[in-house]
Structure formats: structure tokens, C-alpha cells
Amino acid sequence: MKTLALFRHAKSDWSDARARDFDRPLNLRGQRGALAMGQHIRSTGRRFDRMIASPAVRVAETIETSSKAWGRSFPVEWDRRIYLASSAVLMDLLREIAGDPKSVLMVGHNPGLEDLIFDLVPDDGSSPLRDVVVQKFPTATYAVMELAIDRWADLEEGCARLVELKRPRDLDPELGPELPD
């Protein structure tokens, strides 16, 4: 059994129209969301043997901010392939993990992370949280899956069960979508 957690970067700043997508930092709401999710992860007591992440600025800032709240930091393996990757690329990357750690935290982007959940978690009713992901996998969302595999190289579609899903709005309603007047 392996554990895979996915953490989508927090809300990014779009105020500089000239900035490259890769270089966009977090906005204030994103900083608050990353902080809240870091506190949540700390409250679960969950630990990870390895963290792999996209090197995009908004991902790096999400990790930095949430780690402060989490009260834990450890080396990040930066992998540019995660940046805007498809589910297929993410699955290949996971299959390549050396050393067969028991638990991995991947921090990255949509639609890849969301699609990875759809590919790994069967749509058979065994993971009711999957229906929440169908609605939306917003920024700063954190998901944990248990994988019925012994080695990362054995990763295949339908091998997971979604056991936790936490969105920023679940922790603080002000971090949810902006409501119309």
C-alpha cells in the first residue's frame, strides 16, 4: 500500500499582465489559503517520505507558506515535468520514483492533478469524495489517496481510493469562491 497526496498551488496573482505564467506569485488570498492548508495538514499528523513539485513560482510560494504553518519543512524534489503536466505525464513521473517511499506529496497544477485523481480513483462509488472533485478542484486543495500497489512502478489506472479531500473553503468560508452581489 502506498499513499499519494496531491496539493494544488494556491491562488496566484494575475495583476501583472506581462508576467510569464511560470513566474506568477501568490496573491493575498493564495497566501491565506496556503497557510490554512498547511495548518490543516499539520492537524492531520500525516507525514510524507518524499515531496515532488513543479518549480513554478506559485508552487514554490505555496510550499513555503504552507510549510511554515505546517511546522515542517523537508527537501523538495523540483521537477519541471509537473508544470502544466497531463495525468499521463504525472503517472509516468510517479512510476519513476526511486527508493519506493511509502508516501509521496506532489504539489502542482490543474488540470493535471484533477485528471490524475479521475484516472487513479475508479468511478464506482467506492470513493464518494471523487464526486466533489468532479464539481471542482480549486486552488490550494489537498487530496490524499491510498494506492493498492506495492511499488510505484506498478501504478495503474483505477488503483486508488480517495480518502481525504480538503478545499480552502472547507477551512474558512472566506477562502471560497466569490459570490455575486
Q: What is the DSSP letter of 87?
A: H
The domain segmentation of the chain, as residue ranges, is: 2-174
When pLDDT is cut at 50, 70 and 90, the band that residue 14 belongs to is confident
Residue 79's pLDDT is: 97
Output the CATH code of domain 2-174. 3.40.50.1240
Query: Which element (helix H / strand E) includes 163?
Result: strand 160-166
Residue among 40, 42, 76, 36 nearest 59 (CA): 76
* Mean pLDDT value across the chain: 93
Average pLDDT (73-87) is 93
When pLDDT is cut at 50, 70 and 90, the band that residue 180 belongs to is very low
* 140-174 pLDDT tens trace: 999 999 999 999 999 999 999 999 999 999 998 88
Percent of the chain with pLDDT over 70: 98
Q: What beta strand segments (E) does 36-159 contain?
A: 50-53, 77-78, 103-108, 142-147
Q: Is the model's pLDDT at 178 over the cut of 70?
A: no
Instruction: Identify which of 94-98, 125-129, 133-137 has the greatest average pLDDT.
Output: 94-98
Contact by Cβ (8 Å): 3, 144: yes
- pTM, full prediction: 0.94
